Amino acid sequence: MIVIGLTGGIASGKSLVAAELARCGAVVAEADRWGHEVLREPAVRAALHARWGAAVLDTTGEIHRAAVAQIVFAAGPDGLRERAFLERTTHPRITDRLVAWLEQQSQRHDVLAAVLDAPLLHSAGWASLCDVILFVEADEAIRAERARARGWTDAQRQARQAAQVSLCYQRGRADLVIPNSGTREDLAAQVAACWQTLTRHAGRTNFRKLVFTNPPESS
Protein backbone atom coordinates (compact mmCIF):
# COMPACT_ATOMS: atom_id res chain seq x y z
CA MET A 1 0.00 0.00 0.00
CA ILE A 2 1.28 3.45 -0.93
CA VAL A 3 0.71 6.25 1.57
CA ILE A 4 0.19 9.54 -0.26
CA GLY A 5 0.41 12.86 1.57
CA LEU A 6 -1.24 15.96 0.13
CA THR A 7 0.13 19.45 0.68
CA GLY A 8 -0.52 22.86 -0.87
CA GLY A 9 -1.72 26.34 -0.09
CA ILE A 10 -5.05 27.30 1.39
CA ALA A 11 -7.76 26.76 -1.28
CA SER A 12 -5.30 25.17 -3.67
CA GLY A 13 -7.66 22.25 -4.22
CA LYS A 14 -6.26 19.49 -1.99
CA SER A 15 -9.74 18.16 -1.25
CA LEU A 16 -10.51 18.00 -4.97
CA VAL A 17 -7.31 16.07 -5.59
CA ALA A 18 -8.21 13.72 -2.74
CA ALA A 19 -11.66 13.21 -4.27
CA GLU A 20 -10.12 12.41 -7.66
CA LEU A 21 -7.72 9.95 -6.05
CA ALA A 22 -10.69 8.33 -4.33
CA ARG A 23 -12.38 7.98 -7.72
CA CYS A 24 -9.26 6.22 -8.93
CA GLY A 25 -9.50 3.75 -6.05
CA ALA A 26 -7.61 5.26 -3.11
CA VAL A 27 -8.95 5.50 0.44
CA VAL A 28 -8.80 8.99 1.91
CA ALA A 29 -8.44 10.33 5.43
CA GLU A 30 -8.91 13.99 6.32
CA ALA A 31 -6.83 15.00 9.30
CA ASP A 32 -9.20 17.91 9.96
CA ARG A 33 -12.00 15.45 10.71
CA TRP A 34 -9.87 13.75 13.34
CA GLY A 35 -9.02 17.18 14.68
CA HIS A 36 -12.72 17.87 15.16
CA GLU A 37 -13.18 14.52 16.90
CA VAL A 38 -10.27 15.19 19.25
CA LEU A 39 -11.84 18.50 20.31
CA ARG A 40 -14.82 16.50 21.59
CA GLU A 41 -12.68 14.40 23.91
CA PRO A 42 -13.42 15.33 27.54
CA ALA A 43 -9.73 15.73 28.44
CA VAL A 44 -9.10 18.06 25.51
CA ARG A 45 -12.25 20.05 26.15
CA ALA A 46 -11.25 20.46 29.80
CA ALA A 47 -7.72 21.59 28.87
CA LEU A 48 -8.95 24.21 26.42
CA HIS A 49 -11.63 25.41 28.81
CA ALA A 50 -9.06 25.74 31.61
CA ARG A 51 -6.76 27.83 29.44
CA TRP A 52 -9.25 30.01 27.54
CA GLY A 53 -12.39 30.00 29.64
CA ALA A 54 -16.06 29.68 28.76
CA ALA A 55 -15.63 31.79 25.61
CA VAL A 56 -14.47 28.69 23.71
CA LEU A 57 -17.54 26.63 24.64
CA ASP A 58 -20.78 26.67 22.68
CA THR A 59 -24.28 26.51 24.17
CA THR A 60 -24.04 22.71 24.49
CA GLY A 61 -20.72 22.82 26.32
CA GLU A 62 -18.69 21.61 23.35
CA ILE A 63 -15.68 23.41 21.91
CA HIS A 64 -16.61 26.30 19.64
CA ARG A 65 -14.06 25.88 16.84
CA ALA A 66 -14.52 29.38 15.44
CA ALA A 67 -13.74 30.87 18.84
CA VAL A 68 -10.62 28.73 19.15
CA ALA A 69 -9.53 29.70 15.63
CA GLN A 70 -9.83 33.38 16.53
CA ILE A 71 -7.41 32.83 19.41
CA VAL A 72 -4.82 30.60 17.77
CA PHE A 73 -4.67 32.47 14.47
CA ALA A 74 -4.33 35.88 16.06
CA ALA A 75 -1.39 37.92 14.81
CA GLY A 76 1.79 38.23 16.82
CA PRO A 77 3.38 36.17 19.60
CA ASP A 78 0.13 35.59 21.45
CA GLY A 79 -1.32 33.69 18.51
CA LEU A 80 1.86 31.65 18.10
CA ARG A 81 1.92 30.75 21.78
CA GLU A 82 -1.73 29.70 21.90
CA ARG A 83 -1.47 27.75 18.65
CA ALA A 84 1.52 25.87 20.04
CA PHE A 85 -0.54 24.97 23.10
CA LEU A 86 -3.40 23.71 20.94
CA GLU A 87 -1.04 21.62 18.82
CA ARG A 88 0.65 20.10 21.89
CA THR A 89 -2.76 19.15 23.19
CA THR A 90 -4.29 17.76 20.01
CA HIS A 91 -1.57 16.53 17.65
CA PRO A 92 -0.51 13.44 19.62
CA ARG A 93 -4.14 12.30 19.70
CA ILE A 94 -4.59 12.94 15.98
CA THR A 95 -1.37 11.04 15.30
CA ASP A 96 -2.69 8.05 17.23
CA ARG A 97 -5.80 8.01 15.05
CA LEU A 98 -3.76 8.37 11.89
CA VAL A 99 -1.38 5.53 12.71
CA ALA A 100 -4.26 3.24 13.68
CA TRP A 101 -6.11 4.08 10.46
CA LEU A 102 -3.06 3.41 8.30
CA GLU A 103 -2.55 0.08 10.03
CA GLN A 104 -6.16 -0.88 9.33
CA GLN A 105 -5.87 0.05 5.67
CA SER A 106 -2.60 -1.85 5.29
CA GLN A 107 -4.41 -5.05 6.30
CA ARG A 108 -6.86 -4.71 3.41
CA HIS A 109 -5.88 -6.52 0.23
CA ASP A 110 -8.04 -4.26 -1.93
CA VAL A 111 -6.29 -0.98 -1.00
CA LEU A 112 -3.51 0.16 -3.31
CA ALA A 113 -3.11 3.62 -1.81
CA ALA A 114 -4.13 5.60 1.25
CA VAL A 115 -4.30 9.38 1.03
CA LEU A 116 -3.67 11.74 3.92
CA ASP A 117 -5.19 15.17 3.36
CA ALA A 118 -3.57 17.19 6.14
CA PRO A 119 -2.84 20.94 6.06
CA LEU A 120 -0.16 20.46 8.74
CA LEU A 121 1.44 17.42 7.13
CA HIS A 122 5.00 18.71 7.56
CA SER A 123 4.79 20.70 10.79
CA ALA A 124 2.97 17.88 12.61
CA GLY A 125 5.53 15.30 11.47
CA TRP A 126 3.04 13.25 9.47
CA ALA A 127 5.03 13.51 6.25
CA SER A 128 7.37 10.87 7.69
CA LEU A 129 4.51 8.36 7.46
CA CYS A 130 4.07 8.94 3.72
CA ASP A 131 5.72 7.19 0.79
CA VAL A 132 4.85 10.00 -1.61
CA ILE A 133 4.15 13.71 -1.14
CA LEU A 134 1.99 15.51 -3.70
CA PHE A 135 1.95 19.29 -3.78
CA VAL A 136 -1.23 20.86 -5.20
CA GLU A 137 -0.27 24.11 -6.88
CA ALA A 138 -2.58 26.98 -7.82
CA ASP A 139 -1.98 30.64 -8.58
CA GLU A 140 -2.29 33.03 -5.63
CA ALA A 141 -5.12 34.99 -7.25
CA ILE A 142 -7.10 31.80 -7.89
CA ARG A 143 -6.61 30.58 -4.33
CA ALA A 144 -7.74 33.95 -2.99
CA GLU A 145 -10.87 33.85 -5.14
CA ARG A 146 -11.71 30.30 -4.08
CA ALA A 147 -11.27 31.20 -0.41
CA ARG A 148 -13.56 34.20 -0.75
CA ALA A 149 -16.18 31.94 -2.34
CA ARG A 150 -16.03 29.83 0.85
CA GLY A 151 -16.74 32.92 2.93
CA TRP A 152 -13.18 33.56 4.10
CA THR A 153 -11.75 37.04 4.19
CA ASP A 154 -8.29 37.64 2.77
CA ALA A 155 -7.02 38.22 6.31
CA GLN A 156 -8.38 34.88 7.50
CA ARG A 157 -6.82 33.02 4.60
CA GLN A 158 -3.48 34.71 5.08
CA ALA A 159 -3.50 33.98 8.81
CA ARG A 160 -4.21 30.29 8.19
CA GLN A 161 -1.52 30.13 5.52
CA ALA A 162 1.01 31.80 7.80
CA ALA A 163 0.39 29.07 10.39
CA GLN A 164 1.70 26.45 7.96
CA VAL A 165 5.21 25.90 6.69
CA SER A 166 5.95 28.01 3.62
CA LEU A 167 4.68 27.01 0.21
CA CYS A 168 8.27 27.07 -1.01
CA TYR A 169 9.19 24.49 1.64
CA GLN A 170 6.16 22.34 0.84
CA ARG A 171 6.86 22.38 -2.87
CA GLY A 172 10.54 21.63 -2.32
CA ARG A 173 9.70 18.53 -0.26
CA ALA A 174 7.13 17.22 -2.76
CA ASP A 175 7.73 14.25 -5.02
CA LEU A 176 5.16 15.36 -7.58
CA VAL A 177 3.39 18.66 -8.29
CA ILE A 178 -0.27 18.65 -9.35
CA PRO A 179 -1.24 21.89 -11.17
CA ASN A 180 -4.72 23.13 -10.29
CA SER A 181 -5.21 26.52 -11.88
CA GLY A 182 -7.37 25.16 -14.70
CA THR A 183 -10.64 23.28 -14.97
CA ARG A 184 -11.86 20.29 -12.98
CA GLU A 185 -11.33 18.22 -16.12
CA ASP A 186 -7.72 19.35 -16.31
CA LEU A 187 -7.21 18.37 -12.67
CA ALA A 188 -8.85 14.97 -13.16
CA ALA A 189 -6.49 14.21 -16.04
CA GLN A 190 -3.46 15.23 -13.97
CA VAL A 191 -4.52 13.06 -11.05
CA ALA A 192 -5.31 10.08 -13.27
CA ALA A 193 -1.86 10.26 -14.82
CA CYS A 194 -0.30 10.52 -11.35
CA TRP A 195 -2.31 7.53 -10.15
CA GLN A 196 -1.16 5.39 -13.05
CA THR A 197 2.46 6.31 -12.39
CA LEU A 198 2.26 5.49 -8.70
CA THR A 199 0.22 2.30 -8.83
CA ARG A 200 2.21 0.84 -11.70
CA HIS A 201 5.09 0.29 -9.32
CA ALA A 202 3.23 -0.17 -6.04
CA GLY A 203 4.78 -2.73 -3.73
CA ARG A 204 8.12 -2.92 -5.52
CA THR A 205 11.21 -2.58 -3.37
CA ASN A 206 12.76 0.09 -5.60
CA PHE A 207 9.52 2.08 -5.81
CA ARG A 208 11.03 5.55 -5.41
CA LYS A 209 13.78 4.99 -7.94
CA LEU A 210 11.24 3.72 -10.46
CA VAL A 211 8.79 6.59 -9.97
CA PHE A 212 11.03 9.58 -9.28
CA THR A 213 14.04 10.50 -11.36
CA ASN A 214 15.22 13.08 -8.84
CA PRO A 215 13.44 12.48 -5.52
CA PRO A 216 13.66 15.33 -2.99
CA GLU A 217 15.85 15.13 0.05
CA SER A 218 14.23 13.61 3.10
CA SER A 219 12.67 16.25 5.34
**Predicted confidence (pLDDT) at residue 218 exceeds the cutoff of 80:** no
Would you state the pLDDT for residue 122? 92
Q: Do the Cβ atoms of 64 and 57 come closer than 8 Å? A: yes
Q: Where are the alpha helices (DSSP H) in the chain?
A: 14-24, 31-39, 42-52, 65-72, 77-106, 140-149, 154-162, 167-172, 184-200, 207-211
Q: How confident is the model at residue 152 (pLDDT cuts 50, 70, 90)?
A: confident
Edge-first strand order for the sheet with 113-117 is 27-30, 113-117, 2-8, 132-137, 176-179
Which amino acid is located at 98 in the chain? L
CATH-assigned architecture of domain 2-203: 3-Layer(aba) Sandwich (3.40)
pLDDT > 70 in the chain, percent: 91
pLDDT tens profile 58-93 = 999 999 999 999 999 988 899 999 999 999 999 999
pLDDT at 206 over 70: no
Domain boundaries along the sequence of the chain: 2-203
Global pTM reads: 0.84
Phi, psi (rounded to 5 degrees) for 179:
-70, 135
pLDDT tens column, 174-196: 988 999 998 999 999 999 998 98
